Amino acid sequence: MAHLRPARETDLPAIARLSHQTLLLGREGGHAFPSQELWGELFVAPYLRRGCCSLVAEEGEVLGYVLGACSDWALALDLLPRLPRLLLNLLLGHYGPRLPHLHYLLRLLLYPGPKAPKGLYPAHLHIAVRLEAQGQGLGKALLTAFLDCLRAQGVKGVQLSTTRVNQAARRLYRSLGFRLYAKKASPFWAPYLGHPVIHEVWVREL
């Protein structure tokens, strides 16, 4: 049976692999962002080094994770000093083809999803469970433990981003007391899926 434990920096390869495999709305999207290594450095490492309440579900290997942050500034303090080197290595071709990565990152800047007020909901999270481990309650266990950890730290609210197409995740969030705060049609995914997607932000008071 899988058990939960705090995520460690040594979990970076395993979490980056799972996160990269599910980057295309829960499906493999290596064509959109080819480098798993760069993905991990940009989108996983800051949470392991400066995040809060991050957890993994493990049974011999990592089956799922929740990455949390109590402050965006904390993540920026990790990423910003490393960003010039990462971008230089990207431009030098160390992470493979430049264009897909640059295209993805530029679209992230051009088409941000909706956000809830940070003053009310300062914490945020990312969660994923391996496809073959879904349906066993791991997502609910991870998210419940994450919320308990935030409460213990005195955090007053949390937000998360998802999309309208992720119905299973939306049911999980609703079952744990999250509510839809805002939504916006975004063209971000159009080059990868062929159509825009409704981005949503869900919130929960703690």
Q: What is the mean pLDDT of residues 49-61?
A: 96
The answer to the question of residue 178 being in a domain is no
- Give a yes or no: residue 174 inside a domain: no
Q: Name the pLDDT band for 90 (thresholds 50, 70, 90).
A: very high
**Contacts by 18-22 with C-beta closer than 8 Å and gap 24+?**
18/62, 18/64, 18/65, 18/128, 18/130, 19/43, 19/44, 19/65, 19/126, 19/128, 22/128
What is the rounded average pLDDT of the residues 110-134? Answer: 94
Quote the mean pLDDT of the chain. Answer: 95
> Considering the domain boundaries, does residue 194 fall inside one?
no
Q: Is the pLDDT assigned to residue 16 strictly greater than 90?
A: yes
User: What is the model's pLDDT at position 18?
Assistant: 96
Q: Is residue 206 part of a domain?
A: no
Identify the band that residue 30 occupies on the pLDDT scale cut at 50, 70 and 90. Answer: confident
Please report which confidence band the pLDDT of residue 24 belongs to, taking 50, 70 and 90 as the band edges: confident
Instruction: Identify whether 199 is part of a domain.
Output: no
Specify the pLDDT at position 11: 98
Query: Domain total for the chain?
Result: 1
Which tokens go with 113?
Answer: 């999803």
- pLDDT given for residue 133 in this prediction: 86
Using the predicted structure, report yes or no on whether residue 109 has a pLDDT greater than 90: yes
Query: Using one digit for the tens of pLDDT, what is the confidence trace for 142-185?
Result: 999 999 999 999 999 999 999 998 888 999 999 999 999 999 99
pLDDT of residue 144: 98
Residue 68's domain comprises 3-155
Residue 165 covered by a domain? no
pLDDT of residue 195: 87
pLDDT band per the 50, 70, 90 thresholds, residue 135: confident
- Say if 192 falls within a structural domain: no
Q: Is residue 196 part of a domain?
A: no
pLDDT of residue 103: 96
Residue 108, domain CATH: 3.40.630.30
Query: How high is the pLDDT of residue 76?
Result: 95
State what percent of residues in the chain have pLDDT above 70: 100
Distance, in Å, from the CA atom of 60 to the CA atom of 142, rounded to the nearest integer, reads: 17
Question: Is the pLDDT score of 61 beyond 90?
Answer: yes
Q: Does the predicted model carry a pTM greater than 0.85? A: yes
